[in-house]
Amino acid sequence: MTPPVFLSLVFHNHQPVGQFDFVNEHCVKVAYEPFLDLMERHPGVKCGIHFTGSLLDYLIAHQQPLLKRVRALVGRNQLEVLAGGYYEPILVTLPDEDKIGQIHKLAATVEDVFGMKPRGMWLAERVWEPHLVRPIAMAGIEYVIIDDTHFEAAGYNIERELFGYFVSEEQGYTVNVFPTLSYLRYAIPWDTVPNLMAWLRARAEESWPHPQPKLAFMGDDGEKFGVWPGTHEHNWGEGDYMETLFSSLDEASAWVQTIRPCDYMDQYSALGRVYLPTASYFEMGQWALPAERFRELKRVRKEFQDQHREDVLRYLRGSIWRNFMIKYDEVNHMHKRMMLVADKVHAMPEGSDKSRALDLLWRAQANDAYWHGLFGGVYLFNFRVANYANLIEAEELAEGANALLAVREMDFDKDSQTEIVLTGASFNAIWKPGTGGAMFELDYRPMRYNLLNIMTRREEGYHTEIRAAASTGMIVTPEMEAGGVTFEGRDAVRAKEFGIEQYLIYDWHRRGAFIDHFLREDVDLQAFFRAFYGEQGDFVTLPYEVELQGGGKET
């Protein structure tokens, strides 16, 4: 008998390229293993799971017993394993051949490790643009998971119209799209299990104009179930949320059944066509805004939330993901460096060197260092180091052992101005004459290290909250929490260390090398550090003229 409602749960597990092994091991112990324990205790509950390639690389090297457990759950049709871009790239920013190549690589690894050819994929940060349908379909993927807010932006009622999947098309190619519901992403695990079951019961009893049974779909981060602060105890410890949830689903199987996305897709057709706009989840759009607009959107949204103005809230959204390449010059620089290397790698003849170079290029496309939101992102030095190291090594392979010194004038960062790019020597270098003649990249190739891998100190939208919390003694550090010190209320702010507000200093120009400063005589080192000093000229940001002088082998 077909139940009135199906529930599909997909858990996305990711650790970045360059992540420390001790962090990966911690995630296994507090989140990934407890989830598998739960699945084994409840064989009637079916789910989907996704491992990014960077995490799989670690698991293959260090956690073979865990992988065998996943394979066993797949073998009894309890788990479905999804594909995606191997190193969790923001797909919209890649050349199409890399989109397809990364998906193929993870699909092949999933089939080899787990014995299942993946049919669906996880879209990194759910960053969607309409053109993605074509390369995803060309990669052999049948469905993708996207937020319900994407559908809301296209005019759908997310509370009544999204209980199933849709099909999207681009240039004759089609891909199925499952909307992950905002309520379920919040409710699991933050609402009580009785409230969640009551919500599912209400969905089962509501009228439904389609012949397909309702599908309530949730796809969310696996780290939310044990890695995030406080979630291990809530989910697996005294709170025991996940055990309570799965037991309740077992007991309610007469009217709600869990199902893998692939099984629902095999049994029931799509609800219809859909053409979705460029979008990601709400917070991503907010993070992509400049600091002032970030705070403004947050304030406006709260005002309408307090007024319960859903008729207005559904139309509120921030910027698109690509705006991170405007907000952070360092992100744009790394992306354009990746594109430059991609051109060289794709031009290589087929063979083992090209295969190695492609993998290095794909590693450097890992999304974590290309944006900033709730977590560190581009500010995390180890992620940027890993990306540049992979790019430098890939470029070395593409150029060959006897690469000649090359100096090119080109619009490297795509701002209509000419930059100078030097490659093929022991050092790579990139100058920007239009910005004070500064150098913004200097790679020491033997060590595969970018010596100018630095960040400009800039204002973030949440900095005002840090200052406000510091002024009232409401900063909470990990050491304080470990000692049992907590604060209640929305004014408390978590920070990595006490006194962090003292470091909220902002540069007035992009940081780089060989920038000409003509300082006033009263400027000392502390004033320079605090970016609070006077200049006697305007050389820092204004354009310089360039003359390339060549003779023989020298330029």
pLDDT of residue 190: 96
Task: Give the phi and the psi of residue 121 in degrees, each rounded to 5.
Answer: -145, 150
Interacting residues of 375 by C-beta distance below 8 A, sequence separation 6+: none
Helix or strand run (H / E) with residue 168: strand 166-170
**428 located within any domain:** no
Domain final residue, candidates 280, 307, 342: 280
Q: Do 313 and 254 share a structural domain?
A: no
Instruction: Please state, in angstroms and rounded to a whole number, the distance separating the CA atoms of residues 327 and 288.
Output: 7
Indicate the number of domains in the chain.
3
Cα separation of the two ends of the chain: 78
pLDDT digits (tens, 9 = 90+) for 221-278: 999 999 998 899 999 998 899 999 999 999 999 999 999 999 999 999 999 999 999 9
Instruction: Compute the distance between CA of residue 106 and CA of residue 100 in angstroms, rounded to an integer.
Output: 10
Helix (H), strand (E), coil (C) string for 471-535: HCCCEECHHHHHCCCCCCCCCCEECCCCCHHHHCCCCCCCCCECCCCCECCCCCHHHHHCCCCCE
**Residues 341-399: tens digit of each pLDDT:** 999 999 999 999 999 999 999 999 999 999 999 888 999 999 999 999 999 999 999 99
Residue 348: inside a domain, yes or no?
A: no
Q: Tell whether 139 is covered by a domain.
A: yes
Q: How far apart, in whole angstroms, are the C-alpha atoms of residue 24 and residue 58?
A: 8
Residue with tokens 């840090």: 466
Which of 193, 229, 260, 216 is closest to 44 using CA atoms? 260
Q: Are residues 264 and 116 in the same domain?
A: yes
- Does one domain contain both 222 and 308? no
Tell which of 265, 280, 295 closes a domain: 280
3-state secondary structure of 97: helix
Residues 306 and 170 in one domain: no
Segment 97-145, tens digit of pLDDT: 999 999 999 999 999 999 999 999 999 999 999 999 999 999 999 999 9
pLDDT digits (tens, 9 = 90+) for 56-70: 999 999 999 999 999
Enclosing H/E stretch for 298: helix 291-306
* Rounded CA separation 53/83 (Å): 9
The answer to whether 90 and 335 have CB atoms below 8 angstroms apart is no
Task: Quote the pTM value.
Answer: 0.93
- Specify the amino acid at residue 7: L
The stretch 454-460 carries a mean pLDDT of: 97
Question: How is residue 89 annotated by DSSP?
Answer: B
Identify the domain containing residue 291 by its residue range: 285-319
Are residues 169 and 314 located together in one domain of the fold?
no
Do 195 and 300 fall into the same domain?
no
Note whether 96 and 139 are within 8 A (CB). Answer: no
Same domain, 298 and 191: no
Would you state the torsion angle of the CA atoms of residues 187, 193, 199, 200, taken in this order, to the nearest 10 degrees? 100
H-helix or E-strand spanning residue 371: none
Q: Is there a domain that residue 492 lies in?
A: yes
Whether 40 is covered by a domain: the verdict is yes
Residues 153 and 302 reside in one and the same domain? no
Q: pLDDT confidence of 553, banded at 50, 70, 90?
A: very low
CATH of the domain at 28: 3.20.110.20
Query: Are 274 and 303 members of one domain?
Result: no
Residues 113 and 209 in one domain: yes
Q: Is residue 103, in this structure, part of any structural domain at all? A: yes
Are residues 228 and 80 both part of a single domain?
yes
* Cα 335 from chain centre: 15
User: Annotated active-site positions, please?
Assistant: 125, 221
Query: Does residue 553 lie in a domain region?
Result: no
Residues 310 and 225 grouped into a single domain: no
Please state, in angstroms and as integers, the Cα–Cα distance from residue 458 to each residue in 170, 201, 298, 371, 494, following that order.
Answer: 39, 49, 19, 14, 20
Establish if 180 belongs to a structural domain.
Answer: yes
In whole angstroms, what is the distance from residue 228 CA to residue 332 CA?
A: 29
Helix or strand or coil: residue 136? helix
d(CA 555, CA 551): 6
